[in-house]
Chain A
Amino acid sequence: MDDLYLDNIDEFVNDQNKIVTYKWLSLTLGVHVNLAKQMLYHYLDQKRKEGSARLHATYLVSGKFVENGTTSHKVSVVREDQLEDAKSKMSLTVSVHVYSVQKAVLKDSGPLYSADYDAVKENLRNCSRYSAIRCADAVPRSSAEVQQACETTQAPPPETEQIKANHSNLASKPTSKQPKGIMGMFANKNVSKNQDSSKEIKLEQKEVTPVVETSKTKPAPKTNPVTNFFAKQAASKYFNNPISHTVGRTRYFPLDSKTKRLEHSDSEEEKNESRRKKRRRIKKPEPDSSDDEVIPDSPPQLQEKRDPSPSPEIQVKKEPVAVSHSDVSFHI
C-alpha cells in the first residue's frame, strides 16, 4: 500500500512527462500536502538510489534573509543545484521541502505555475481540503443567504442630507426627512410612481431637477443641448406628476422654448392617470427592443419626432433614450 504512490508518481513523471508538484500530487491523490511532499522526497530518494537518475527536482526554501540591514522573510523556489547556495544565504532557514519532480531540466519557473493552475482550477471548490490550515469561518454560504446579503447591499441607507427619495424597492413612501418645497413634491410623487421602472432612470431625472431649478433664474439661458435635453426629460416626468403644481410648471417655459408639449400641461390630472397607465403598458416590450449598442438620439432629432405625436409616445421614446443616456453620461 505504501509503495503504490511511488508507482503513481513514476507513471506521472516518466510516462506522462508531467511536472509533478507537491500540490498537484496532493490534489490528484487526495492526500495532505505534507504527505505529498514526503512522497515526492521518497520517490526521488528511491530513484536516485536505484541509479536511474534522470530526474530533476526543485525545492522550496524559506527563511530569514538579511539584505542591506533589513531583514525579510524570503520564500523561494530553487533548482536542486541552487539549493545549498540558497540555504547558506539565509540567516535562519525555516523550511525546506521538495517542490516538484520532473524529467526535464527546468530553465524557467513558468511551467511550475501552469502545472498547478489546471489542477487548482478543477478543484477550486475544495482547494483547501488538503492544506494544513483550517479556517472555521470559511464555510460557503447557502444560496439563500447569499441572496439576502445581496439585497441588503443593494439598498444602502439613503443619505438624509441629500435631496433624494428612498429606493423604490424598499419603500413606497419616503421615510427619510422630507426635503422642503418643490423637491419634496418631486421626491414624493416620483417614488410612488417608480415601482416598475428602473431605479437609475428615476434617479437621473430627480438629479436633473435641481439642475433645472438652478438654471431657472436666467430668462433665456444659453444651455447646451445636453442640459436642455435633461430639462425636457424632467419636464416630461414632472408633467406626469399628478401633483404637478403650477409653481414648478411655469418655470420650465423659459428653458424650453423648443418643446411645445408643455402647453398641454394645463389640465391633466385625469389625463395623467391614463397616461401613466398607458405608459406602463407600453413600457414593457421596450427592454427587448433596445440593445446595448443603441446610440442615443441627438436632442434635435428627438424633438422633430415629438412635436406631432401625443404625449404617451413621448414617454415611450423617452425611456430607451433615458436608459442609454444614463449609461453614457452618468456612469462614473
Chain B
Amino acid sequence: MFSEVSAPQEGSCSLLLCRPGSEDQEPSVFDRVKPAYSPCSERFKLGERSFNRQYAHIYATRLMQMSPLLTERAQQKWGADVRIRKLCDLQMGEQCCIVGTLFKHMELQPSILKEISEEHNLLPQPPRTRYISESDELILEDELQRIKLEGNIDVDKFVTGSVIAIYGAEKNDGKFTVDDFCTADLPPQAPRTTLSSDRFVLLLSGLGLGGSHADSMLALQLLVDMVTGHLGDQGEQSGASTISRVLLAGNLLSQSTQDKDASTKAKYLTKKTQAGTVDAMRLLDEMLMQLVSSVPVDVMPGQYDPTNYTLPQQPLHHCMFPLSSSYPTLQLASNPHQATLDGVRILGTSGQNVKDIQKYSSMDSHLEILENTLRLRHLAPTAPDTLGCYPFYLKDPFILEECPHVYFSGNAPSYQAKRITGAEGQEVLLVAIPEFSSTQTACLVNLRTLECEPIRFSSFSAGDDEESEMNISH
C-alpha cells in the first residue's frame, strides 16, 4: 500500500514541524524511478481515414476472427464431439451449438428511420438513460442467417455485437431454444516479470477542467504537488518518487466546454466568442507542464476532449500543448490505450464503451461491465451499433488478443477495483477509475503486487464543522 511505502521511519517525529536545520543539512532530493515503458497502441492509430465503407465489414471480420476461438471454447465446455452447426444447416430438434453475433432488438432504441419516416410523424425521441425494456429480444446472426433466441438466456445482460456460442436446439416455431451459452473468455496472458521494489502507476480521469465550478481545482493542485514531490513529509516524497507514471484517462475537459450553441445559434452571433475549450486547454497545458517536468504522463482523450468522436479516438494534437509538448515525458495516447510498463501490460479506455453498454443493458456497475467486456474478449461490442466507431474492414482492433494485467476504464461514478483470475491462470486487475471532478479520487496501482488503492484529496470548506472532508456540494 502506498501509505506504508511513504510512512515515516520508526521513532522519528515529523521532520517538518520544526525549525530549519543547520546549514550543512542538505534537503533531500529523491530520484524518480524509471521503468521500462513501451506503448503498444499502434492498432488504435488511424492513418488515412476513409468513411466510404459500410459498417457491415466490421461485423464480418469480427465474426471471422472470433469464430475459431469460440468453437474451441464450445468444445472445451460441452465436449469435443459437440455438433457445431451453421444456421443454414440447422435441423429441427437437434441439440447443437451455434456461433454468431448477437443482435438485441430493442423497442426503445432510437432509430433514425423511425424519426424521418413520414408516416409515423414522430418527434425525435428524447435521450434516456436506459433503452432496455421488457420486450427486448435476442437474435443470433451468423454469416448468412439469423435466428431468434429464447430460453435460458438473460436478455438484459447482453448487448448487440457480442460474439458468443449457444448450445441448444431449434424448436418447431423457428426459434432457437437456449440451454447454455459460452463466451470467448479471457485471452492468453504473457507472464509478467516480478519486480523487486514497489512501483506505482497513478490512474486519473475526469479532471473536468474549464467547468463552471472549480470544486476540484485545489484537489487537483494537491495531486500535482504530491506527485511532483512538493507536498508531504520526506517519507511521502520518497513514496511519491516511486510513482513511475501518470495516466490520464479521458475527460480532461469538462462537459460544459462543449458549446452546444455553436450548432444552433447563427454564426454571426457566435463569431467573436471563443470556444470554451480554448481556456480549458490552456489550463490543462499548464497543469501538464507541472507534471511532465517531474513524471512521465500518458494523456488519453475522452468524450469531451477536442479530438474525433468515433472510437478509436486519436491522440490530442501536440499543438494544443505548446508548453508541455517540448518535454519527452509527455505521451499523447489514443483511446483505447495499451502500454507495457515494466512487463505489466496495461489496457484501458476512457469509459465510453462501458457507459454505452450501461445504457443498453441492465448492468449498473462499471466494474461488472468491464469484466463482461473482458470475458467477451471485446473492448467495445456495441460499436458500431450505438457507439461511434471507424469503419474498419480488414481487422477489428477492439478484439483482445492478449490478456492485459491491468484493465481499466475511466470516468466511473465511483472507485471500484477487483482482481479476477481466468481459466488458464490469467490474473487481471480491473479498475474503474472514478471521475476526479466529482470524487477527488485517483487510483494508485502497485505494479509489483497488482493491487490498487484509491487516493483521496480533500480540503475544508465553509460548511464543514466537524469534519475536514470536502463534499461534492461546495
Contact = CB atoms under 8 A, between A and B. Distances in A.
A92 B50 CA distance: 56
Nearest to A120: B290
B148 interface: no
A96 B14 contact: yes
A95 B466 contact: no
B400 interface: no
Given A73-B453, A96-B14, A332-B310, A79 B460 contact: yes
Q: Taking each of B16, B217, B470, which has the highest tally of chain A beta carbons within 10 Å of its own beta carbon?
A: B16
Contacts of A127: 228, 289-290, 293
Interface stretch (A27-35, A273-281, A299-307): A27-35
B328 A33 contact: no
Interface string A141-169: 10100100110010011110111100000
A150 B322 CA distance: 12
A75 B456 contact: yes
A71 B1 CA distance: 9
Given A37-B16, A108-B461, A158-B47, A95 B233 contact: yes
A262 interface: no
Contact of A138 (B46, B232, B294): B294
B52 A207 contact: yes
A39 B20 contact: yes
Interface of B: 1-4, 6-8, 14-21, 27-32, 34, 45-52, 214, 217-218, 221-223, 225-226, 228-241, 267, 271, 286, 289-290, 292-296, 308-310, 318, 323, 325-329, 393-394, 441, 444, 453-462, 464, 466-470
A138 B329 contact: yes
Given A76-B469, A127-B293, A112 B28 contact: no
Nearest to B416: A70
Contact of A34 (B27, B218, B223, B309): B27
A255 to B, nearest CB: 16
Given A41-B17, A74-B455, A131 B235 contact: no
Interface of A: 2, 22-23, 26, 32-35, 37-39, 41-42, 45, 58, 60, 62-65, 70-79, 82, 85-86, 92, 94-98, 106-110, 112-113, 116-117, 120-121, 124, 127-128, 130-141, 143, 146, 149-150, 153, 156-159, 161-164, 203, 207, 210-211, 214, 293, 295, 332
Contacts of A150: 318
A77 B222 contact: yes
Contacts of A106: 460
Nearest to B49: A332
A136 B16 contact: no
Contacts of B325: 146
Contact of A41 (B8, B18, B459): B18
A221 B27 CA distance: 78
A-B pairs with lowest CB-CB distance, top 5:
A95-B233, A133-B229, A109-B459, A32-B27, A64-B3
A253 to B, nearest CB: 22
A94 B20 contact: no
A214 B52 CA distance: 10
B438 to A, nearest CB: 16
A291 B440 CA distance: 43
Contacts of B459: 76-78, 109, 112
B32 A128 contact: no
A95 B455 contact: no
Contacts of B323: 124
Nearest to B215: A110
17 contacts: A23-B230, A42-B18, A71-B453, A73-B456, A85-B466, A94-B235, A95-B6, A95-B16, A95-B236, A96-B14, A97-B17, A109-B470, A113-B217, A130-B230, A136-B34, A162-B50, A332-B51
Nearest to A155: B47
Given A133-B241, A137-B34, 17 more contacts: A32-B27, A35-B27, A38-B16, A65-B456, A73-B455, A75-B232, A75-B457, A78-B468, A85-B466, A94-B7, A95-B232, A120-B286, A124-B286, A124-B323, A131-B229, A211-B52, A293-B271
Contacts of A23: 225, 230
A33 B230 contact: yes
Contact of B3 (A94, A136, A210): A94
B271 A35 contact: no
A23 to B, nearest CB: 6
A36 B432 CA distance: 37
B230 A73 contact: no
A75 B226 contact: yes
A107 B29 contact: no
B19 A161 contact: no
A75 B222 contact: yes
Nearest to A203: B48
Contacts of B241: 132-133
A210 B391 CA distance: 15
A75 B267 CA distance: 47
A63 to B, nearest CB: 6
Q: Taking each of B17, B19, B230, B267, which has the highest tally of chain A beta carbons within 10 Å of its own beta carbon?
A: B230
Contact of A137 (B234, B326, B329): B329
Nearest to B228: A131
Contact of A60 (B232, B295, B308, B470): B232
Contact of B234 (A26, A72, A117, A132): A132
Nearest to A166: B48
Contacts of A65: 456
A38 B48 contact: no
A133 B327 contact: no
Contacts of B441: 72
Q: Taking each of B32, B293, B444, which has the highest tally of chain A beta carbons within 10 Å of its own beta carbon?
A: B293
Contact of A72 (B223, B235, B453): B453
A41 B296 contact: no
Nearest to A91: B3
Given A71-B453, A94-B3, A207 B31 contact: no
Given A78-B468, A95-B6, A98-B16, A110 B267 contact: no
B458 A98 contact: no
A70 B453 CA distance: 9
Contacts of B47: 156-159, 162, 164
